[in-house]
Amino acid sequence: MNRELSLKVDSQLSFSVNVQVKEQLKWLIGIGLIQPGDMLPAANQLADALGINRNTVNLVYTQLRDEGVLSIQKGRGTQVVSGPVVAKLREKRQPMHELLARTIEEARSQGIALEEFFLASLAYTLLSTDKPQERRHIALVECREHDHLFYRDEIVRITGEAVHTVFVEDLRSGREAVAESIGRANLVIATLNHADEVKSLLAPFDIPVEVIGATLDPAGLLQLARLEAGTRVGFVCLGRSGGQWMATRVEEAGITQIVPSVLENREKAMSADLIADADLVYASAAVYEQLLKAIPEKVRLYPMQLEKSSQRMLEELAKAGGESR
């Protein structure tokens, strides 16, 4: 879209900045001022216009992508999608638009301050006994170098809940960063790699933290075990620590006849390095498609799956969520 977005943020409001930005975007999409197919401003551009941190806009865009409102493609930007989620949003917001316009006009005619009126409306809604149970909002906390996309997709697949990803690197800058990143999540799921740190960072907040872990799929593990002695196998993820995790899991499984290496994910330079340094490349799901195009004869999908205990925990969450709605 060519026109500038007229969004506003108010640090004095009870709602966090990311919620303010997110709900304004959903409103503009819902009432048709932003259309499916429109491109949204780059995160740094919108952040500068609003005077907020770029990470806040990135978080909002990621949340709306997870909800099925936006698509984010590297090199192409952030776009409003055309699909059932956006169609439903427009179906709901159009009658709200007319109702709110009338309500605001009536409140102003009676001299009622709008902020006070809507906060009172929120209190009234929360106290209503017939209010349906709202959908659970889950924040997944993982680092940028591990395959956070795998964990997020598994949580969504099993629970059917709304999930947004929070990077542990962003939480380390202090309490305000934690509150802003976690947003309105009422449950945090941390990966085993960062469980203790996440629990410590969230200690001042009244938010439950569950922990999930991943292991190797037995069928894929068997393929690795059958490789000839001396086979040079590279492991690659979104960052070096993710690749190291992959290589370590293979070693712990007793597969020692291969010659492992952790390969750097360096965009265009990566393919040449892999061809030179490895006979086979095991890639996490996050980078597999990229490598499949570059070196189809060498690349294999790393056989990662959730631990059984983690899967059971998510299934229990899904069951509890279904019973409460």
Q: Find out whether 235 and 286 touch, Cβ atoms under 8 Å.
A: no
Q: Which among 207, 157, 202 has a CA at the least distance from the CA of 310?
A: 157
Q: For 70, left (φ over 0), alpha (ψ -120 to 50), or beta?
A: beta
State residue 19's pLDDT score: 83
State residue 55's pLDDT score: 86
Structural domain spans, the chain: 1-130, 137-213+308-324, 216-304
pLDDT-derived band at 26 (thresholds 50, 70, 90) equals very high
Taking the complete model, does pTM exceed 0.75, yes or no? no
Say whether domain 137-213+308-324 belongs to CATH 3.40.190.10: no
Between 78-82, 98-102, 165-169, 203-207, the lowest mean confidence (pLDDT) is in 203-207
Report the share of the chain in percent with pLDDT over 90.
Answer: 41
pLDDT at 2 over 60: no
Say how far apart CA 132 and CA 89 lie, in whole Å.
18
| Mean pLDDT, rounded, of the chain | 85
pLDDT at 306 over 90: yes
Tell me the pLDDT tens digit for each residue of 224-275.
999 999 999 999 998 889 999 999 999 999 999 999 998 876 554 555 655 6
The CATH code that applies to domain 1-130 is 1.10.10.10
Q: Which residues of 166-175 are buried (b: 16+ CB within 10 A; e: fewer)?
A: bbbebbeeee
Tell me the pLDDT tens digit for each residue of 113-166.
888 888 888 788 777 755 455 567 899 999 999 999 999 999 999 988 888 898
Two domains, one topology: 137-213+308-324 and 216-304 = yes
CATH class of 216-304: alpha beta
- Residue with token string 């202090």: 174
Q: Find out whether 105 and 97 touch, Cβ atoms under 8 Å.
A: no
Say how far apart CA 215 and CA 23 lie, in whole Å.
38
